[in-house]
């Protein structure tokens, strides 16, 4: 089965990044990100990192589920089984070559379960209409941060393992800004995670990162640096945006 259509987003070219950041863009390209701004309390804000947009895919459903832990289905309370993943987004705004935390942005994430199934959609291989597991959003705080508790995704034919995300400012307003892309994992880490149940039930995956044509369009810039925790993994993802 195929879960993703042609890409709706596009990659930022080197010329566009420099134009976006002004003179600072050259430094960003050399160092990998803008220097963080010094906060009032003496701590450093997260750095801006420009990321490529990627396809939303056909299975985004605007459920408007404001929750940090997205593992359960609110319709019946059942919790999906799999390796826990604590995921933090650090969202910043780029303006005139400076980088500051972006509060009040809505961050949605959605992905398949350990068996490769998305919730609340119809597909030739399954019908999960009415279920709402592994979907939700959070609103960034004063530091531009949101946290989710979810599961390490499973796989399905044609795609490498990934998580979809969408960041919106003023999502209910007439004029709003939206940035949509995907997150990826190191292949070796996925191999280790997928040896355990319930992932192992699906057998070895058939598509790795470099075999996924969507990943090849900038996916290396969207890899999560996941670190082990007591019961799973955690990862932080900084991203710099230029909303209107």
Confidence of residue 171 (pLDDT cuts 50, 70, 90): low
Please write the tens of the pLDDT for every residue from 188-235. 999 999 999 999 999 999 999 999 999 999 999 999 999 999 999 999
Contact partners, residue 24, CB within 8 Å, separation at least 6: 34, 97, 98
Mean pLDDT of the chain: 85
Higher pLDDT, 43 or 82: 82
Please write the tens of the pLDDT for every residue from 1-48. 444 543 333 334 334 444 444 433 333 333 344 444 444 444 445 568
| pLDDT computed for residue 36 by the predictor | 45
Domains of the chain: 14-241 (2.60.130.10)
| pLDDT computed for residue 12 by the predictor | 40
Residues 205 and 3: their CA atoms lie apart, in Å, by 15
The predicted model scores a pTM of 0.83
Give me 48's structure tokens: 């801006």
Other CB atoms within 10 Å distance of the CB of residue 92 = 28
| pLDDT computed for residue 187 by the predictor | 99
User: For the residues 69-79, what does the mean pLDDT come to?
Assistant: 96
Is the four-CA dihedral 27, 215, 6, 145 of positive or negative sign? Answer: negative
Rg of the chain over all Cα atoms, to the nearest angstrom: 18
């Amino acid at each position: 089965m195929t879960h993703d259509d042609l890409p709706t987003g596009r990659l930022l070219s080197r010329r566009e990044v420099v134009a976006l950041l002004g003179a600072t863009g050259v430094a960003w390209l050399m160092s990998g990100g803008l220097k963080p701004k010094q906060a009032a309390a003496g701590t450093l804000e997260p750095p801006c990192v420009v990321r490529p947009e990627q396809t939303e895919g056909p299975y985004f459903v605007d459920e408007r589920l404001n929750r940090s832990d997205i593992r359960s289905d609110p319709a019946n309370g059942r919790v999906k089984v799999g390796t826990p993943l604590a995921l933090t987004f650090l969202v910043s705004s780029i303006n005139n070559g400076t980088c500051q935390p972006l509060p009040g942005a809505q961050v949605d994430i959605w992905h398949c379960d350990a068996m490769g199934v998305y919730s609340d959609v119809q597909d030739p291989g399954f019908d999960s209409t009415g279920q709402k597991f592994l979907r939700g959003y959070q609103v960034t705080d004063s530091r531009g941060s949101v946290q989710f508790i979810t599961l390490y995704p499973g796989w399905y034919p044609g795609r490498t393992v990934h998580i979809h995300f969408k960041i919106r400012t003023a999502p209910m307003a007439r004029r709003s800004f939206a940035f949509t892309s995907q997150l990826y994992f190191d292949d070796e880490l996925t191999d280790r995670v997928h040896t355990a149940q319930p992932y192992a039930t699906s057998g070895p995956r058939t598509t790795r990162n470099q075999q996924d044509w969507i990943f090849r369009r900038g996916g290396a810039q969207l890899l999560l640096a996941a670190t082990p925790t007591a019961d799973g993994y955690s990862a932080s993802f900084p991203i710099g945006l230029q909303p209107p």
